[in-house]
Amino acid sequence: MSKSMTARTPASRSAATGRTVATDPEPTLTRQAHERLEEMIVTLELPPGSVVSEASLSAQLGIGTTPIREALQRLAREYLVQIFPRRGVVITAIDVRQQLQVLETRRELERLIARTAARRATPSEREAITALADRIERTADDPDPRAFLRIDAELKALSARAARNDIAAAAIVPLHAVSRRFWFYHHEAFPAGRTARTRHVALARAIASGDEAAAAAASDRLIDDLSAFARSTLPE
């Protein structure tokens, strides 16, 4: 896969102190391993319930076992794998009830990030957010949803950086991958998932405009839609 969906978070300037804060301290190989494995899990190349090992993943990705182990430990914290010592690693199940809890949490964090990004984004960040919104619109006719998911990850990373709140950014990162996998798994079968692009574009444009209230409202509408989508997958 050419590009990961993982939201990279480079060093940012703390809103409180003005000092540069290293928000992505992982070694390069560990970060690469995490990005590759996350995308493989989110896009179901590593399907729920499958069992993998550090050795097999190392051979598959051409990355040493130490970065693979560190990446798996992070993925375990992000609810995507379960590690069983001396037994292997299991890709977690996709659970609608967990997804609803994730969205309940995301609602508050996303609103905060949207509002503060609208207020604090630099002119160059606003231009970049607008460009990402344009790119999302161009994926509407792309039959491969991976393109949308990758741009969405870029948008979330840039919005979090523009918000200048390292705590909120760190808290929301693990929730995004869980949400992306749920959407990828269900989006074709359930029409409620098809509004995701429109809602993301509206949110991006509201942030770029600098309108805090509009950004917060757009964030809530996005989570409303994602929650309705999740509930639509529940068995009747």
Cα 18 to Cα 14: distance, rounded to the nearest angstrom: 5
**Does residue 28 carry a pLDDT above 60?**
yes
Confidence of residue 11 (pLDDT cuts 50, 70, 90): very low
**Arithmetic mean of pLDDT, 5-23:** 38
pLDDT at 236: 76
Confidence of residue 193 (pLDDT cuts 50, 70, 90): low
Side-chain-facing half-sphere of 143: CA atoms under 13 Å: 0
pLDDT at 87: 85
Confidence of residue 191 (pLDDT cuts 50, 70, 90): low
Cα 176 to Cα 174: distance, rounded to the nearest angstrom: 6
Integer angstrom CA distances of residue 56 from 29, 59, 70, 89? 17, 5, 15, 11
pLDDT at 192: 58
Given the candidates 1.10.10.10, 1.20.58.340, 3.60.20.30, 2.60.40.10, the CATH classification of the domain at 22-91 is: 1.10.10.10
State the CATH architecture for 95-232: Up-down Bundle (1.20)
User: The pTM is what?
Assistant: 0.83
Confidence of residue 13 (pLDDT cuts 50, 70, 90): very low
**Does residue 64 carry a pLDDT above 80?**
yes
Under a CB-based contact definition with an 8 Å cutoff, are residues 22 and 11 in contact? yes
pLDDT at 187: 85
Structure tokens at 222: 């996005």
Task: Enumerate the domain spans of the chain.
Answer: 22-91, 95-232
CA 184 from chain centre, in angstroms, equals: 12
